[in-house]
A and B are shown apart, each in its own frame.
Chain A
């Protein structure tokens, strides 16, 4: 390596690659897995959300999975926790709508109202 610019390039690439280990202060997205979740297609949802977060380079956002939260009819379920700790639970999420949650809610703080679990429950 012959220049600081080259070093910086590697640094930036690696920072992104190791991003999962950093302390994050932003939104948390928890995708419900568990057997019923996986059966309902939660893995596709997870894949879509993870890829979207990666594509949009949202470094401060955490994406994790959890076990079944007990809303099996509404699987796949996705929980979003904002920076103040308020929880929003989405139901019947698909890969498409998962992406939407990231773009609208997580990135722009616009809750996707019609996908909220309480909306499904009526």
Chain B
């Protein structure tokens, strides 16, 4: 018979590192054993987005969503569900309904997906990235065909401009405008670059697109090349994404085989070459001028702007650099029109945005929402709220370049300008949720530590200034801070913001300034009272045993510093001078008798 069932196994990095490749292989093995292999298809796709529930397997056309899959579960699913039609309820995704009863939800009924509008991620989880025909079946390269045979380069730029598409890498610069700046240079050689360096900690939006739908990026690069007059493109992808690199390179090879890259695409005059270039572990190479320096074989250090890359970029030729997610939106805009795209989102921020939701949140994973969705909807309706019933404290957007938003900002509609006005920024899409157990001073220190390590070292304010800011923060978290330090922190931050050479330096102080503005009291507590209210900064917390102690002695046995004393069945006691604050005692106590203050 014809294929009557398809099993899609998630092949995103998250699920792959939980053995989803083995799960796929096991499915093939079991189906063959049950002689179902001629009527059931198994494929591996890109990221589904609900990474919290991974490894994920979805069965079509039933649209049953299996969560937390293991190799051991495969045989049962094949025998019970695929052969006999009985859904394996214990593995199927369930959600609590109004009366708190857990009910199986099919794939498209899941709350996590209900409020999303997956456009850049439309094919992730739906197609096999290793098969160009599946991408074509989902309208892949149709837009390129339309562009090359029915539109002039200027018309392409006009459509993108009218759509209101803005750069998704963080700055939000209007894409159509950027393309027009390069297009108007009357120079033969131009370059198109895709920035896939995605260095923000906690961000993996671009990774998902490259792993799950590389052809959308390849197609968009060719469209952009046509629009601006470039015949050569580079995808600069960080080497820390081996799956993305492998699938991208494979997809490029297939595109060449099918004549969708190379000379005279679709028999027209337009030729376009594309290759991937790997990064080498430098966050700063996500900055466009440092990225170009890296491709040129130079040290990855940013250069002055002006001249801007659109006029003088890679090897001094007009160059456009776009983010992966920006490009992933392009084919759809061409096919569905500028008005369609502009009808989604807010007045100044059109379309959707992919966010990587992480931290203290129930549904960690990737989500794509129309601009204008509120933070509250994202965190509570899509994200499923804060686990363990903890209190929401802040959400960090924009990674090490962004700031935090607090509970009073939860009803803010998400768009570029709103977030910037509140002292944060959209950034590339990393969104980290924090609860009452996070110390905001420590959060600022964490992000600054990252930027200090990643600073290229070229300009004085970033190289020297951020290092000094970090020293002050460390001083504060160690309990040695003074009130003047807070002023110095702010003063240095402003100097660095004003005078740094590139975006890394200019935005590095943001997490500090943002937490200083929104959580000033927490800083003062660290400095004046020498206390960490959230109980995080090791030097400022002490471990205590309360009278809930039953004297079982478990903590004493687990203490690596022999800091606990006490007789059996008597309340034990911690010597805080010996305590190294490892937390082993608190973790081992079955009576919750150990607290930090």
Contact = CB atoms under 8 A, between A and B. Distances in A.
B389 interface: no
Contacts of B145: 4, 7
A21 interface: yes
Interface stretch (A61-69, A83-91, A100-108, A109-117): A61-69
A14 B135 CA distance: 9
Interface residues of B, number: 33
A20 B61 contact: yes
B60 A20 contact: yes
B411 to A, nearest CB: 32
Given A2-B267, A21-B6, A50-B39, A11 B142 contact: yes
Interface string B158-194: 0000000000000000000000000000000000000
A67 B137 contact: no
A96 interface: no
A4 to B, nearest CB: 5
A21 B238 CA distance: 32
A46 B5 CA distance: 12
Contact of B1 (A4, A33, A50): A50
Interface string A1-34: 1111001001101110110110110000001111
Contact of B141 (A7, A15, A35, A38): A7
B267 A21 contact: no
A77 to B, nearest CB: 11
A21 B84 contact: no
Interface in B254-289: 258-260, 266-267
Contact of A1 (B60, B62, B142, B258): B258
A71 interface: no
A73 interface: no
Nearest to A69: B85
A10 B145 CA distance: 13
B61 A13 contact: no
A101 B58 CA distance: 28
Interface string B87-130: 00000000000000000000010000000000000000011000
B2 interface: yes
Nearest to B85: A65
B267 A54 contact: no
Contacts of B139: 11
Q: Which of B61, B127, B139, B266 has the most CB of A within 10 A?
A: B61
A54 B136 contact: no
Interface string B38-61: 010000000000000000000011
Contacts of B258: 1
Contact of A33 (B85, B108, B149, B267): B85
B3 interface: yes
Interface in B1-41: 1-6, 8, 39
B458 interface: no
B84 A64 contact: no
Contacts of A18: 127, 134, 137-138
A20 B5 contact: yes
B46 to A, nearest CB: 13
Contacts of B142: 7, 11
B136 A10 contact: yes
A67 B86 CA distance: 5
A18 B5 CA distance: 10
Interface string A28-55: 0001111100100000001100110010
A64 B258 CA distance: 35
Nearest to B259: A1
A54 to B, nearest CB: 4
A13 B127 CA distance: 15
Given A2-B259, A15-B137, A62 B61 contact: yes
B266 A46 contact: no
A24 B62 CA distance: 11
Contacts of B5: 20
B266 A4 contact: yes
B133 interface: yes
Contact of B4 (A1, A21, A63, A66): A63
A96 to B, nearest CB: 15
Q: Which of B3, B8, B108, B136 has the most CB of A within 10 A?
A: B136
B1 A51 contact: yes
B525 interface: no
Given A7-B142, A24-B61, A38-B84, A50 B134 contact: no
B137 A46 contact: no
A3 B266 contact: yes
A21 B136 CA distance: 15
Nearest to B6: A20
A89 B60 CA distance: 22
Nearest to A67: B86
B83 interface: yes
Contacts of B127: 18
A95 to B, nearest CB: 11
Contacts of A34: 84-86
Contacts of B136: 7, 10-11, 14
B253 to A, nearest CB: 15
Contacts of A1: 258-260, 266
A38 B141 CA distance: 44
Contacts of B267: 2-3
B37 to A, nearest CB: 14
A21 B108 CA distance: 11
B126 A21 contact: yes
Nearest to A2: B267
B85 A32 contact: yes
A67 B89 CA distance: 13
Interface of B: 1-6, 8, 39, 60-62, 83-86, 108, 126-127, 133-134, 136-139, 141-142, 145, 149, 258-260, 266-267
17 contacts: A2-B259, A2-B266, A7-B141, A10-B137, A11-B142, A14-B138, A17-B137, A18-B127, A18-B138, A20-B6, A21-B6, A21-B61, A33-B83, A35-B84, A47-B1, A63-B4, A65-B84
Nearest 6 CB-CB pairings of A with B = A14-B137, A65-B85, A67-B86, A47-B1, A33-B85, A54-B2
